[in-house]
Structures are given as structure tokens and as C-alpha cells.
Structure 1
Amino acid sequence: MSNQDSNVNEIYRKPDCPWGKKAVTLLDNNNIEYKDHTFSDKDEENAFKEKHEVKTTPQVFLKGERIGGYTELAEHLNDSVDDDEDETSYLPVIAVFSTAALMALATQTWIMGFMGFSLCLLACLKLMDIPAFIEGFKKYDLLTKAIPVYGWVYPFAELFAGLGFLSGLVPNLVGSVSLFVGLVGGVSIFKAVYIDKTDLSCACIGGNSNVPLGVVSISENVMMAVMGVWLLI
């Protein structure tokens, strides 16, 4: 039992958590009025977990009684549990890099071709829906948080770097852009994942993706930085 008002229904969740969104949808579908509390940062979430002695969020309270997360709420409401939708997956990333590798092999352009094709494919996915990409990107990219317009510039910078790797033109400029983008991206992702310990999706393949932010995302940016240095020297 919690200290909540016994007449109030509440949900406490991270704004980007897919299970929190499912719980909200379930409450809406069952016409249950509730107060939606989203954590402003990790510290607030940790304080909530400590106070209520829970290890995960979301947490739903019905009439003052803690029901639990999405699965427990679905069982409490005798509703079916949806455990497939919104699950994270590396398949989109595997598809992009596998295709780039095959294109590099077919054209015998090897590592430079692989990087060029990879960046062009990734840029294309972002350019298909730039606002959706920015919505996810600004949640963890440090430069976009400080200078929002960078989110709009990023897909074009990535495409420029990819075309530069493939064409061999203006190597100093291409190397500088690739190094800058790779360093900023790598630092941003490292901070979000390993320092802030956020649970976010990577915007690397465009908006609305379910690719988890983590080591794959950092590796992509490290490769860009390394290739940038290689062109410059």
C-alpha cells in the first residue's frame, strides 16, 4: 500500500519508456481517469524507486493500491498482455551495415566504400522524416540540446561525409566534418548511456526506431572519427 490518496489513480513513468506508454494506453482504453506523473530526470526516478521500494517503472496506483507495472496492470484489468510491440531490436542496424558491406564488396571499394555507403544509407533514413529524427536525437545529443538547429544539419553533414568517402573529393573538409560529427556523437552517447544511464532508442536509423542506444551507436561514431583522422593525416 502506498501513501497516495485512496481515491486517486496514478501512474509514475519515464516519458520515453514503451512500457509506460502501454500502461497509459491501457488505462485510457479502460476509461480509467488518472494522474500521469512523468519523471523529469534520473534522480527523480531513483528517489521514487527508493521511496516505494521498487526496482522498475512504470508503477501504477489504483485507488491508493500499488498494482505494479504494465504487465501487472493488464492482469489486474483482465486484459491481454502485449509483450512484443515496441521491443528493441538491432535488425535495422544489421540490415543497413550488411547492405553497405555487400555494396562495398561488389564495387571493391572496401573500408572507404563501406563507410561511405553506410553513412549515405543512414542519412537517407533520417532525411525521410527529419522532425521524427530530431525528436529522438535531441534527447541525448549534447550539441542539439544546446543548438537545436544542429539536429537539422546532422543528416546533411552525414550524407556529405558519406559522399566524400565514396568520391575522394575534398578529403580535408570531409575528414574534418566526419571527425567533428563522430566526436560529438560519441561523447553524447557515452554520457547518455554510461553516465546518465538513460534508456533511450537510437536515432541513427531515423525517427521512431526501436534500436537501443548503446555500444553499436558509439561504435558508429568512433568509426566516423577514426576515418576522419585518417583522411586528415
Structure 2
Amino acid sequence: MKNTYIVTGMTCNGCVSSVTEKISKLDGVVSVEVNLENKEAIIDSNHQINTLILQEALRPKYTITKKKTAQKEPLYLEDSFTDNKSKIEQLKPLFLILFYLFSSAILLHYKAWDIKEAMLDFMGMFYIVFSFFKFLDLKGFPDSFRMYDPLAKALPFYGWIYPFIETVLGLMFLMRIQIPIALIVTIIILGITTIGVTRTLLDKKSIRCACLGTALKLPMTEATFIENAIMLVMAGTMLIQILL
């Protein structure tokens, strides 16, 4: 399939060669035709390549947008959040979901309070709800996820199976199946993601958070780090208690 993109930042034939070389190295690309005068790149590929992947390959010197949706397809969040919304407003969906999850976990055990059981239910519901949003766009999620998750970037298939991993972990916590294993896996996968989130925040990159898939366009902020940290602290605390 062929798609035409607008590439800005090119000033000479050397730029044309650089853009052509970088795009040609991407998985699935068959051929690339770059036109300096029109600032266009015609990419022939075996499958649809998300613009985020193309932009990651060309950053920071060049900017690429799909020609037909150049004004509608946000690549990085500085393009999509131009209305100066506060972080709280942007992250309102995330805060609401976490509020409902915490409330549900508490209400399930308020008659016979057991913090361990409440934590297990919270973690289980957390995974189920967050995996649900990822499944809404299973094709688009891996491309967004690999923008900051180190393992997904190194092993593309990991991004494809990640929503399934979350679903399985959610069921394990809710059904109380092999809790120690579920806790260890949680620490590993969220630990890796947290490393990527931390790097993104330190580099001050404004990219989209894929924690709720691509259905909700959330910015990568400190809240994303806190969200992962909550789960890591819970998993670590419970694992230590089990081992001791």
C-alpha cells in the first residue's frame, strides 16, 4: 500500500537521502520516494505504518504528517493539546477511573475490612479496566506503547500481547490464582514501563500515554508515573508479606 506524507525540515538533497534512508530501514517498508520540491514522501509498505513510528525515525530534524490528515492526526502532544488545558483537565479520565477503582475495592470489603483482599481486588480491576481500553484499538496500541516502553521498542510483538497479559493478570488477582506469580510479573512489566516513563519525563518529551490505549488521548505526565508506582508499591508490599 502507498501513502503520501508531508515532510518538513528538508533543505537539500542530503536531507532527501537521509529521510529516504531512515524510512527505508523501518519494518514493512518496500520503497520510499522523497520529493524535495513538494516536501513529500511516498511510502510503499506491506502494511499500514503508524505515523508515530515514522516520526520517531525522523526526529528531531524532520517532521512528518500524513497528507490527507495533516491537521487531524496528532503525532506528539504539543500538536494536539494547543488549547492550554491544565494537566488535571487532560488527565481527568485517568483520575476518574482510578477513583472508581479505589472506591470499588473499598466498598467490596467495607463490612469485613481486609486491606490485603482490597488491594488484590484493586489490582485485578485495574488490569481488567486498563486492558479493556487497549483492546478498543488493538492495532494502534502497540505503536503508541513502543514510543516509551523499552521492551516493546526492542521486541515489537510484546506490544501486541501486552493487553492479553494485563487481562490474564487481572483474572489471576480477582480469582486468587497463583498470586505470587502474578505479583512478580506485575513488578517486572510495570517496572520496565516505569523506566520508560521516567526517561520520557526526564527528556521532557510530550508524547501520548498508552495506559488507556489510543481511545483516550492522554499526555505522558507525572500522573502516569504515579499510576505505575501505586501498582508497584502494592505488588512489592504484598510479595514481601507472602515471602515472609
The alignment's TM-score, normalised by the length of structure 1, stands at 0.62
Q: 1:7-26, aligned counterparts within 5 Å? A: 11-12=8-9
The question of whether the paired residues in 1 share the 8 Å contact of 2:119 and 2:234 is answered with no
Partner residue of 1:190? 198
- With over 3 angstroms needed to count, the CA separation of the structure-2 counterparts of 1:175 and 1:227, relative to structure 1, is same
CA apart distance, 1:208: 4.4
The count of aligned residue pairs is: 171
1:165 and 2:183 are equivalent in the alignment = no
CA–CA separation in structure 1 for the residues paired with 2:186 and 2:82: 39
Does residue 221 (structure 1) correspond to residue 222 (structure 2)? The answer is no
User: In structure 1, what is the Cα distance between the partners aligned to 2:122 and 2:214?
Assistant: 23
3-state SS in 1 of match to 2:212: coil
Supply the distance in 2 between the matched residues of 1:122 and 1:177 (Cα, whole angstroms): 16
Match of 1:41 in 2: 59
Q: Distance in 1 between matches of 2:172 and 2:139?
A: 25
Letter in 1 for 2:228: N
**How far apart in 2 are the matches of 1:102 and 1:219?**
18
Encode CA deviations 1:28-64: one digit per residue, 9 max, x unaligned.
xxxxx9526968234x47xxxxxxxxxxx99xxxxxx
Counterpart mapping for 1:1-233 below 5 A: 11-12=8-9, 35=39, 40-42=58-60, 44=61, 84=83, 89-108=90-109, 109-194=117-202, 196-233=203-240
Identity of matched residues, %? 26
Does the CA-based 8 Å contact 2:101-2:126 persist in structure 1?
yes
> Contact between 2:133 and 2:215, CA under 8 Å: does it hold in 1?
no
Contact kept in structure 1, 2:148 and 2:193, CA below 8 Å: no
Gaps of 5+ in 1: 1-8, 14-32, 46-56, 59-69, 71-81
**Residue 231 to residue 111, structure 1, CA distance change in 2 (3 Å):** closer
Supply the RMSD in Å over aligned alpha carbons: 3.4
TM-aligned CA deviation for residue 99 of structure 1: 2.0
Q: Deviations over 1:114-144 (max 9, x none)?
A: 2221221001111222111112111111101
1:95 partner letter? L
> Which structure has greater strand proportion?
2
Contact 1:181 1:221 in 2 (8 A): no
- Segment of structure 1 superposing worse, 183-192 or 105-114: 105-114
Output the CA distance in 2 between the equivalents of 1:216 and 1:164.
26
Q: What SS does the aligned partner of 1:145 have?
A: helix
Structure 1 position 156, deviation (Å): 1.7
Conserved in 1, the CA contact under 8 Å of 2:134 and 2:141?
yes
CA distance in 1, matches of 2:164, 2:125: 14
Cα distance in 1, alignment partners of residues 154 and 192 from structure 2? 12
CA distance in 2 between counterparts of 1:10 and 1:125 reads: 32
